[in-house]
Amino acid sequence: MLSITDLYFSFFTPAGEVRALNGVSLDVEEGEVLGIVGESGSGKSVTASVITGLIQHPGRVKSGEVIFDGRDILTATEREMRKIRGSEISIVFQDPMTSLNPVFTIGNQLVETILLHTDMSPRAARKHALHMLELVGIPSAALRLKQYPHELSGGMRQRVMIAMALSCHPKLLIADEPTTALDVTVQAQIMDLIKKMRVETNASVILITHDLGLIADICDRVIIMYAGIVVERGSVDEIFTNTGHPYTIGLLNCLPRLDRDTDKPLEPIEGVPVDQLNMPEGCPFASRCNHTMKICLTDLPPEFELSETQTARCWLHTVGGGEPQEVTS
C-alpha cells in the first residue's frame, strides 16, 4: 500500500538546516496497522506531513521516494494531491479544535469533504454525513450537524474528525496522536472505533503515538524513531519481548508495569534529545546511551537483522571483525 525509501527532509531556517528526517524507510501493507513511536521531535508527524503532501515552507524533501498505491506522490502536483487527500489518504490530527473550522457547522464541513471527493448530490452527501456521525457513535447526530465545533466536547470533536477522515473510504488512515488530551475512557472509545473501521473497510492505518500501551493494543508492527532515524522495527511481540535497541529499552523502562515492584521508581532516559541543527557523525542516541562505544561516536550503525521481521540500528549487534571498544570517559 505504501512504501517510503531513504526519505530525507529538512527545515531550512535562518539558524541553519534542521535535519528532521534522515533516511527513513518503511512499508505499510494493505489492512495493516503500523505504529510509529518516538519522543517529540523524532520525526513522526513530519513523516505524516510528507505522506499527505502537507509540507510548508521552510520544509523541503531533499531526496527519497514515497510510493503510494504504485505512484510516487512526491512528484504529484498540488492539484493531484488534493484528489488523493481525503479520498485515498486521510489524516486525523491530535488537536481537532485546530483542524475544524470554528465558523462553520459540523454539517457544512462534513458535507464539503464528501462533495469534494465523491459524485454525491448535496442531499445525498448530507445523508451520508449523518450516517458517518452515527457510525462513530455520536448521539443525536442530526443535532450535531447543525452545531459548531466549540459546542462539542474534545472527544466528540475527535469523533467528528474520524468521521470526516472515513467519509470517503480511504485506503490509508494516518492517526497522528489521536487520543492526546483525551481522558482514558474516550481514548478507549476512539481506539475501538479505529479497530472497527479497520475490520469493516480493510484500510491500512498508521498510528503515530508516544503511548506504547496503545501500540501493544492495536498495532501489527512497530517502528521506533529517534532524531529522524528509524532505530528499530519489528512486530509488536518482538519490540516488547525481544527489544533490540537501547532507546526502545529506555522507552519501555519509562512505563509503569503491573509486574514491577511498586516501590521501584520509573527510569527516565537521561540527557536531552540531539540538536538536529548539528547532527553527530555517529549514532544520535550515543550521548544518552548506557552502552556507548567508541564506534558509536564516529559511525552511524546500519540496520542489523535480528530476525526476518526485526531490525535494530545499534553497534551492540556487530558480528565479526572483533568487538567494538567501550568508551571509558
pTM of the model: 0.89
- What pLDDT was estimated at residue 228? 95
Q: What does R_g of the chain's alpha carbons equal in angstroms?
A: 21
For the chain, report the end-to-end CA distance as a whole number of angstroms: 47
Residue from 212, 210, 208 nearest 241 by CA: 212
CA atoms within a 13 Å half-sphere pointing along the CA-CB vector of 133 = 24
The overall average pLDDT reported for the chain is 88
Place of cell 567494538: 324
Break the chain into its structural domains and give their ranges.
2-88+170-317
Three cell numbers written together for 34: 503500523
Identify the weakest region by mean pLDDT among 211-215, 231-235, 240-244, 306-310.
211-215
- What pLDDT was estimated at residue 181? 66
- pLDDT value at 60 more than 60: yes
Residue 218 CB contacts under 8 Å (≥ 6 apart), including other chains: 33, 35, 191, 194, 195, 207
Tens digits of per-residue pLDDT, 163-218? 888 888 889 999 988 877 677 887 788 788 888 878 877 889 999 988 888 888 88
8 Å CB contact between 137 and 189? yes
What is the mean pLDDT of the segment spanning 42-53?
Answer: 92
Q: Which CATH superfamily is domain 2-88+170-317 in?
A: P-loop containing nucleotide triphosphate hydrolases (3.40.50.300)
- What pLDDT was estimated at residue 200? 79
Q: How far apart are CA 209 and CA 329, in angstroms?
A: 35
